[in-house]
Structure 1
Amino acid sequence: MCRSIKTLRPPVLPEEATEEDIRAAALQYVRKVSGFRAPAAHNREVFDRAVEAVTAATTELLAGLEVRGRTGPPGRAD
């Protein structure tokens, strides 16, 4: 979908993703889905709410994931 969004969990990202990393990924996602790099003033509020919602969902997802002894590349079941 959007190749500029990085994987934010180990082993791809060895340290924990920062709040800034998570928000940047959320912003990229909302930009891709909406088709707007920077929305017009009349769309700014809904755009910003979407970024915050995706940020919160991503934070929750990363907090709940359990990555067990993965040896292969990401995206491939071992």
Structure 2
Amino acid sequence: MCRSIKTLREPFTEDVTADDIEAAALQYVRKISGFRRPAAHNAEAFDRAVAAVTAATRELLENLEVRGSRPPSVSTR
């Protein structure tokens, strides 16, 4: 997996921003697709995939329960 994607849940990260989530989603889609920047004919599919992974990641982080920590702090900044 992508080693540059950092863990976005406590206790590893206390304040996760929308930019953090989108950056992780972008790295994931880049790794899976093999494209750093897709060609014009693939750009829409690539962007939709990034949006879908971003939404799934946000939902996951909002619903995770980590023992011994406070409720997750997902910022919409």
TM-score category, normalised to shorter length: 0.7 to 0.9
The structure whose Rg is larger is: 1
Partner of 2:4: 4
Partner of 2:18: 19
| Whole-Å separation in 2 of the counterparts to 1:48 and 1:26 | 10
TM-score, length-scaled by structure 2:
0.86
**Identity percentage over the alignment?**
75
Aligned length: 69
Q: What displacement does 1:16 show? A: 2.5
What amino acid is aligned across from residue 54 of structure 1 in structure 2?
Answer: V
| Whole-Å separation in 1 of the counterparts to 2:30 and 2:66 | 29
Deviating runs (4+, > 6 A) in structure 1? none
TM-score, length-scaled by structure 1:
0.85
Q: What displacement does 1:52 show? A: 0.0
Unaligned runs of 5+ in 1: 71-78
